[in-house]
Structure 1
């Protein structure tokens, strides 16, 4: 947000307005967002522990679709899952499970990132979150909470099933 802080200050000075401390404003906003994210993380982790979940990690694997983002693939990778969006490889990254249906997205959220070196770490709740949603006996969709807000992806396929339906 540094570029916005500088831009807004210049605009205020050119208009002769009282100058706001935009750096403090954006720092406060980021700190508030992290506190809210960690609180949501801690709440989900304690109310829906992985150990009590009926869902295995493989239940989340598949392709999900969003009208704006396109196809998002959730793929198995050792002890975690891998997040990949077609055409946006800079956003690829590990998904680390912290509750029955929720994962922390540990991609760099930077189109210039090199995801091949992303190393999964224990989730702390400070990063973007992916929450899967079940329907009947399978995972039906996911919600991605990140800097842009929330995006809902609908499941398109399940591995081993051409139509994605049991």
Structure 2
């Protein structure tokens, strides 16, 4: 019998770029051991087209991606979260809903690629940089020895990943 998948929620203010990238990356790289979701405190209502373009170009799943409020994950019928990770500094400073089950929390700040430079090429470059940073951190995350770490050590390890470049 296999272990149940860990539920991971990535948060950002607008839920259009960084948290969307993280959701898709973890769902692919986690190989069924993780179920990733994303949400925003003030969702913009649409996924950034540069995020979709980059994910599709690199053969990551995009079909289920949508911009949504974090309120969806504070509802009684929502998945029980094991981890809640903020990926933007604004969301990290906001008062989050109370997550049932006391998930492990961490901040993995990534500069906003949608706010980068002037022009499409500058933004595309910023999206590639954001995705590369997230991919490195998510690779570290999925490689953690979850079975051998108690909750305090796991909390520390997940927070340390946020310091990686």
Using the size of structure 1 for normalisation, the TM-score is: 0.23
TM-score (norm 2): 0.24
Which structure has the highest helix share of the two?
2
Higher relative contact order (CA 8 A, sep 6+): 2
Name the structure where strand makes up a greater proportion of residues: 1
